[in-house]
Structure 1
């Protein structure tokens, strides 16, 4: 009798388990999307564009939950510690997904290996600006002024460690100039001071400041992408003016807890890729001044290409943080 039970148990152990548990085809219930920044910012806007389309394509609710704080680390840690079953995902940005590892160092509450890459949503260039009352009319003028008065000019950003801050530090590093960083608690407060003329320069994501530029309240000097922005076609890139090869963009995408079943990762990645190629999505991205993923030859994204992209971004920004001495003020 004991031998018979042992044989039955051994046979059962060799049977394949269902890929994602006993719930049936994935997904069979709502997928919670955590956004690691407050509502209204570019991370939140991008997340809601994709959440809406994912819900329609998957046939399951995709509720969005904002968990901001610590430059995106709080929400990212929550997902890194979540059950890896494919039903909790993270809509994230370049800071918590790449920059923060070097900036926070030992204080970082999670590691790159705690999160799995799913797909890149979009990329958004930053733009360097001055108040129209400034005599600085070109990016070359700003470089000359900064070299003439090392450390005496200031510039504002939406906060320490964000893409605008680190893009500016990368620009200063590569032009051999120094300016004083003035961090704010978000783009809104920073832009109020910039428009009032109380900052000598400022830097921000294009979606947040495009209205001020179009209305003439701020003068755009250069964008940080590798090509000119479609919404600011007359504004040159840093690469074509003062720093050949320069590229530093804010980017946004989806990650999931490590050890999430590969079938779920690939399914979500395929859906994000399909959504990024939809005409409606492309039009919404264009309105934001954003570029599509462009990680694959057809302009899309995959979990594998996004993972490679994140690794390269971690290395790039670690070097910028090290060389510039950037800190969390």
Structure 2
């Protein structure tokens, strides 16, 4: 009888613990979303759009914190080393979770090894833009001009090793052209110098160039995405312009520290994908020149694998090193 009583007490205790666990489903307190870049940019705005949706869907605050530095490595490394409990997440782009670790041998993390993939949020195409004084009206004319004046046409990038830089290197290698690459510290000064005619062209995120294209201050020659950008319906893709295989887009995605429980990863992924289906969220992303693009965690992992394999070849061939 005494033995049965002890067993009953143990069973009740175990059941109590189980109920206690179930009484605190994820999330039960605010969640931090780290953005490894300054406020106001494409990644920051993407994070704030999805943080608002997750707060509404999951009933806890998802708070965006900007931890910029070292081309996104500071904030990314912070998340890679955080507790894998779902309460510290990262929203980032190609730069920090794909390219920088390939160009910097001292990068403190390896994305495929050190993060649990949650999923992609959106894709932002780049657009090849020229100052209106440049006589080229198409990609073919730009290539002809570049070959006529090798190394004389200056092209602006927001930084060495950025996805913009990668796209230019791929373009040069595939078309037999040679530009004078001018690296800036950020998108804004790069675009400003194209506007001012100090450099002739740029492969720029649609987000930052679109207002200037619409105002007639920049001429768009092609977008680097697989499909035309709805914001520029008359501008062809590089495929349509006759130069296939040169696609290059900026992606934004959410990841967590490696070892985050699958049930948390899947819950976040499901909430994100539901949000991305709503017209309100789609409109907010369109407002920053981005196209929503939800994935499963496995789909994003495979996408990141293919991106790293693709750009590592470009980096090796062009001998690109992070500054």
TM-score calculated relative to the size of structure 1: 0.90
- Determine helix, strand or coil for the equivalent of 1:236: coil
| Aligned-partner Cα distance in 2 for 1:136–1:256 | 45
Number of the residue aligned with 1:160 = 160
CA-to-partner distance for each residue in 1:46-97, whole Å, 9 max, x for gaps?
Answer: 0000001111111101111001122111111000001111100000101111
CA-to-partner distance for each residue in 1:114-136, whole Å, 9 max, x for gaps?
Answer: 11110100000001111101112
CA drift of 1:288 comes to: 2.5
Number of the residue aligned with 1:199 = 199
Number of the residue aligned with 1:310 = 304
| Aligned-partner Cα distance in 2 for 1:158–1:48 | 23
Maintained 8 Å contact 2:164/2:204: yes
Number of the residue aligned with 1:178 = 178
Maintained 8 Å contact 1:238/1:246: yes
| Aligned-partner Cα distance in 2 for 1:179–1:48 | 37
| Aligned-partner Cα distance in 1 for 2:149–2:22 | 66
The 1:159–1:239 alpha-carbon spacing in structure 2 relative to 1, beyond 3 Å, is same
- Determine helix, strand or coil for the equivalent of 1:76: helix
- Determine helix, strand or coil for the equivalent of 1:107: coil
Number of the residue aligned with 1:116 = 116
Greater displacement, 79-88 / 169-178: 169-178
| Aligned-partner Cα distance in 2 for 1:134–1:179 | 14
| Aligned-partner Cα distance in 2 for 1:21–1:319 | 48
Maintained 8 Å contact 2:115/2:255: yes
Number of the residue aligned with 1:92 = 92
CA-to-partner distance for each residue in 1:11-46, whole Å, 9 max, x for gaps?
Answer: 99xx79869978711110101000011111100010
- Aligned positions, number: 313
Number of the residue aligned with 1:40 = 40
Maintained 8 Å contact 2:125/2:206: yes
**Superposed, which structure 2 residues align to 1:33-72 within 5 Å?**
33-72=33-72
Maintained 8 Å contact 2:100/2:322: no
Number of the residue aligned with 1:232 = 232
CA RMSD of aligned residues (A): 2.2
- Determine helix, strand or coil for the equivalent of 1:220: strand
Maintained 8 Å contact 1:226/1:245: no
Return 5+ residue gaps in structure 1 as ranges.
294-299
Maintained 8 Å contact 1:224/1:237: yes
Maintained 8 Å contact 1:20/1:85: no
TM-score calculated relative to the size of structure 2: 0.91
CA drift of 1:246 comes to: 2.6
CA-to-partner distance for each residue in 1:292-317, whole Å, 9 max, x for gaps?
Answer: 21xxxxxx321111111111111111
Number of the residue aligned with 1:320 = 314
